[in-house]
Structure formats: structure tokens, C-alpha cells
Structure 1
Amino acid sequence: MEKITAQITSIIKTVSELGIGLIALGIIAEIVFGQGAIFGASVVSNLSSIVGSIGGENGFVGLIALLLIVGLLRK
């Protein structure tokens, strides 16, 4: 059972690292080439709307929550 849990944890970690890498690539491509350069959608505006929806009006609480989630994923 411990091996299965370790394998599932490894798979989840790999997928989350891949996702974070793709998001970073999308942000860099959008900064360099303009809106919708790599994924056909604005990555920065989508991330801004997600942070805004988590934290409400000002988005600061959402940003803190997002940083906490990323910190937990890195452990």
C-alpha cells in the first residue's frame, strides 16, 4: 500500500510540475509575443481572474492563497 501511495504522489507531483511549467511558458510567451501567442488565450488575464475570484475585490487575499497552495505543492 505504501508503494502505491508513493507512486500516486509521484505522478501528481510530476503532473503539477508540468502544469506549472506550461503556465510559466504561457506567461513568458505572452509577454514576448503578445496576447494569445501560445495557447490561443490570454494566460495572464485568466490567472488574474482566478486570483480575483479566490480573493474577491482586491485580489490580495487570493494572491496569498495562491502562494500558500504553491508552497504546499512544493513540499
Structure 2
Amino acid sequence: MIDKAKSYLVVLTELGLVLVGVGIVLQVLFGETVPFVGGDTVGNLIGFIGDIGSGGYIGLIALGALFWLFGRRAL
């Protein structure tokens, strides 16, 4: 049961990463406002990275946790 829940979470995470990538590509191709994306993907990503960078040690720990989570799975 836990393995099934883990597999669903992995699929949802991968889908989210694909959607972020598609949003970035569409925003680069079509400009700042892409009506069917629903937001400023690149601006939100830059803001997120800025928030992590200004967090000091907590930001560094959060960045390390993200790398650990996404780096430990085999492609």
C-alpha cells in the first residue's frame, strides 16, 4: 500500500516537473504572457530561487533537500 502511494507521488512529481518545463518553454517562445499557462512561470521560478538564496542556512538546507529528493531516483 505504501509502495503504491509512493509510486503515485513519483508520477505526480514527474508530471509537475514536466509542466514547469513546458511552461518555461512556452513563456520563452511566446513572451511574458501566455494565456493558457495561467501565470508567470519564469518569474515565479526566479522568485523561488531568490527566496531560497536569501534564506541563508535554511535556504541552503532546503536546496540540499531538493537535490537529494530529485537526485536519488534512477532515470
Unmatched tracts of structure 1, length 5 or more: none
Greater RCO between the two (CA within 8 Å, min separation 6)?
1
Unmatched tracts of structure 2, length 5 or more: none
TM-score of the pair, normalised by structure 1:
0.74
Structure-2 residue corresponding to 1:43: 41
Which 4+ stretches in 1 moved above 6 angstroms? Answer: none
Distance in 2 (alpha carbons) for counterparts of 1:48 and 1:11: 28
TM-score of the pair, normalised by structure 2:
0.74
Deviation of 1:45 after TM superposition, in Å, equals: 0.6
Query: Is 2:60 the partner of 1:72?
Result: no
Q: Could you tell me the percent identity over the aligned residues?
A: 25
Greater share of helix: 1
Q: Which of 9, 15, 37 is equivalent to 1:12?
A: 9
> Is the Cα–Cα contact under 8 Å of residues 35 and 41 in structure 1 kept in the other structure?
no
After superposition, give the CA deviation of every residue in 1:42-68 in whole Å (9 maximum; x if it has no partner): 1001001011111208xxx66x917x5
